[in-house]
Structure 1
Amino acid sequence: LTLFQDLFSCLQFDWGALDSNLSNLIKRTSELESLMGKLIQTCQHVEVNASRQENKLQEECDLLINIIQQRRQIIATKIKEGKSVRLRKLAQQIAGCKQCIERSSSLITQADQTLKETDHARFLQTAKSICERVSMATASSQILLPEINLNDTFDTFALDFTREKKMLESLDYLTAPNPPVIREELCTASYDTITVHWTSDDEFSVVSYELQYAIFTSQSNVVSLCKSADSWMIVPNIKQNHYTVHGLQCGTKYIFIVKAINQAGTRSSEPGKLKTNSQPFKLEPKSAHRKLRVSHDNLTVERDETSSKKSHSQDRFSSHSSYGVTGNVYIDSGRHYWEALIGGSTWFAVGIAYKSAPKHEWVGKNSASWVMSRCNNSWVVRHNSKEIPIEPSPHLRRLGVLLDYDSGSLSFYDAVGSQHLYTFDIDFAQPVCPVFNVWNRCLTILSGLPIPDHLEGTDYNN
């Protein structure tokens, strides 16, 4: 009984394995049948396309033959016309020569007869007339002789089909060009333009290029984006291997595709991702506090230590101690990134403010400004008098600011260490401008920068 049970269990196990293998075999067979169907369909397409190309070849060759026959007829007609003109002129010249010969022969005959005259009186009578006629004929021989051009015998003309023969010998069927390659390392950008460069292995067979581009966000899917015709801007009929696109949004990433086109078809490059820089700006000297000094290039602001003898502690915490300067731009859309180089300053604030923000109030103390501030070793972010302490690297020397106006966020970063420091979520109601406060030493701004790659698609919530 135990042996029977073991045998029954083995049969059950084998039956299950067989059933599983059979299912896999059926599935594999179905896949092979589907593949074979696709191969057969592809063969049919090859047959149809090859026949179409053969018919097209016959049509093109017939057209070439017709053109050659037409040109042969035209050139042959020109040769016949040239022959007729030359033979007619030569016949006229021959007739003129014949007339001159006849006149000369008649005059020679008369002179010969006169010389044979034995009657002296008669000889003198006719000899004088004959002599005059001979003299006149000799003197006017150039006029009597017709103009004859012995060189115009049609041997100075030739048929030269060398170029056409080479063209015919080089005839071949044309294929679509190889896909171009976008050279991202050669591409350049400003805050509203991108110049795209590409290369092509067989550019001599390319008739023109077509450039397509669309905005690319962190949520974009390249495959679905490529299939969506509505999302793309198209620049057709480009003859060079580069093109500058104008009117782009600042601080925005775009996806580009280049198509190489000729009579045989089109092939597209792999998508290339390029981005515009942030909008450039400088410091506005007219907005600077009287105790601040702005450099000649309007990129550095420093505290003028000689302008006041008051203690720093009184200035820093007085209601009128906002030693600030604004950027010369107001922002109401898009994404923007800039950096502040901390030139040894231990008392400063960097951020943004509405145009309506109080001019002499400490930034961040009101509802119209958002800043990150350092007071000696104390780091805080501040808005509407609410302060939140943060802990950046003690060696922070470059402060990055990312403003996404459309999404309503303002983020601060350690630009060297790529450390995220804080993000304000803001429901913007007015345009904003960059603001910088300095209580000692100096700050230098860097603007018009591309948004760093590691900040693309970031979403911080504080």
Structure 2
Amino acid sequence: MAAASPVRVLGGRSWVGLRGYVAGTRATYISFKLDERTAHSSLDLFKKDTGVMYRMMGLDPTKVPQNLERFREWAVVLGDVPVTSGRHYWEVTVKRSQEFRIGAADADMSRDECIGVSTCSWVFAYSHKRWHAMLANKTMPIMNIGHPGKVGLLLDYEAGKLSLVDAEKNSLIHSIAAQFRGPVVPAFGLWDGELLTHSGLAVPEFL
């Protein structure tokens, strides 16, 4: 019998046993939900934890179960399935939002930081009617793309790349070079409106 593969332990617990832990080169898609345990108190999850809504007043932080996994300062929520290899694709429908960030982050990134600020996350940000790629609080403008209806994200773990995709025109928009050091998860920041995630999708042939 082959020896069991080593499992990286994050935050004092193993990621194996979480819903749909994705590892191994055969994995070609990710199916995830948003993890309520990580959601900032200004964010409400809906549609069986596949959508997230921003509420300006938010919930009373004292009434939100406190745990080390919850974002404390920023309106961020993470997906509940970490990946350690393979190519994975998911889509996001944008509803009435003018300011949001979507991408991926280390599963154990600091809950006191916002995605796009540290070297532990890689995101595409939409704000003031403009798109930017963000890494370590540095931004790069992305031109020739308007307000989105639906966009896709392609994470290529071995190639070290996260790409933004026009899901309506079936075209690649922009890619970010990344250095994935361990398990990473889908990541979302939201400051108005709603985002709805669509996972369990095969990587489109044009990618």
Question: What range is the shorter-chain TM-score in?
Answer: 0.7 to 0.9
| 2:7 matched residue in structure 1 | none
Give unmatched runs, 5+ long, in structure 2.
1-19, 60-71
| 1:340 matched residue in structure 2 | 92
Pairing 1:415–2:192 present: no
Please give the residue correspondences for 1:67-82 in structure 2 after superposition, counting only pairs within 5 Å: none
Aligned-partner residue type, residue 446 of structure 1: H
Give unmatched runs, 5+ long, in structure 1.
1-190, 192-246, 252-277, 309-319, 456-462
Secondary structure, aligned partner of 1:286:
helix
Say if 1:415 and 1:329 are closer, same or farther in 2 by CA, change over 3 A.
same
**Contact 1:392–1:414 (8 Å) recurs in 2:** no
Say if 1:439 and 1:395 are closer, same or farther in 2 by CA, change over 3 A.
closer
Distance in 1 (alpha carbons) for counterparts of 2:161 and 2:98: 26
Please give the residue correspondences for 1:131-280 in structure 2 after superposition, counting only pairs within 5 Å: 249-251=26-28, 278-280=29-31
Secondary structure, aligned partner of 2:206:
helix
Cα offset, 1:248, TM superposition: 8.4
Say if 1:343 and 1:392 are closer, same or farther in 2 by CA, change over 3 A.
farther
Runs of 4+ in 1 over 6 A off after TM superposition: none
Q: Deviations over 1:151-204 (max 9, x none)?
A: xxxxxxxxxxxxxxxxxxxxxxxxxxxxxxxxxxxxxxxx9xxxxxxxxxxxxx
Pairing 1:291–2:42 present: yes
Task: Give 1 or 2 for the bigger CA radius of gyration.
Answer: 1
Q: Which has the higher contact order (CA 8 A, sep 6+)?
A: 2
Task: Report the count of equivalent residues.
Answer: 173
Q: Which has the higher strand share?
A: 2
Question: Structure 1 vs Structure 2: percent identity of aligned residues?
Answer: 31
| 2:128 matched residue in structure 1 | 376
Q: Which has the higher helix share?
A: 1
**Contact 2:91–2:167 (8 Å) recurs in 1:** yes
Secondary structure, aligned partner of 2:195:
strand
Cα offset, 1:450, TM superposition: 1.0
Which of the numbers 295, 304, 313 marks the counterpart of 2:55?
304
Aligned-partner residue type, residue 283 of structure 1: L
| 1:94 matched residue in structure 2 | none
| 1:353 matched residue in structure 2 | 105
In the superposition, the TM-score normalised over structure 2's length comes to 0.78
| 2:80 matched residue in structure 1 | 328
Cα offset, 1:345, TM superposition: 0.5
